[in-house]
């Protein structure tokens, strides 16, 4: 998913079927509206990132790494604002 400034905010896993991919997209759309689904994380090298979870144990997205906490939190806000209505770029031809 790209933010309005064109930067990549998150990347979903590679799916083996179009149906599985569509289900993954819908899960992101649904869960991105719930602030409690975002885990604010810091890596071992002090980079900031977030996980988006569908349940308490199922991570559906791991974000890019950010240099600052503010950058990570801005990315979360962007996902919350844009993911529910994001257009899909279907490149399956």
93 located within any domain:
no
pLDDT value of position 14: 76
Task: Quote the Cα angle for 85-71-25, to 5°.
Answer: 25
Structurally, how many domains does the chain consist of?
A: 1
Residue 20, domain member (yes or no): no
**Residue 51 is part of a domain; what is its CATH number?**
2.30.29.80
Q: How many alpha carbons lie under 13 Å from residue 79 in its C-beta half-sphere?
A: 33
More confident residue, 88 or 4: 88
Question: What is the per-residue pLDDT across 2-49, written as a single tens digit (0 to 9) for each?
Answer: 455 555 556 666 788 888 888 988 999 999 999 999 999 999 999 999
Alpha helices in the chain (DSSP H): 18-31, 69-82
């Amino acid at each position: 998913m790209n933010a309005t400034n064109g930067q990549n905010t998150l990347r979903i896993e590679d799916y083996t079927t179009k149906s599985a991919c569509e289900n993954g997209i819908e899960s992101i759309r649904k869960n991105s509206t719930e602030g409690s689904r975002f885990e604010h994380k810091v890596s071992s090298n002090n980079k900031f990132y977030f996980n988006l979870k569908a349940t308490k144990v199922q991570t559906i997205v791991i974000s890019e790494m950010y240099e600052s906490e503010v950058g990570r939190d801005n990315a979360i806000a962007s996902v919350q604002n844009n993911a529910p209505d994001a257009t899909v770029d279907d490149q399956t031809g």
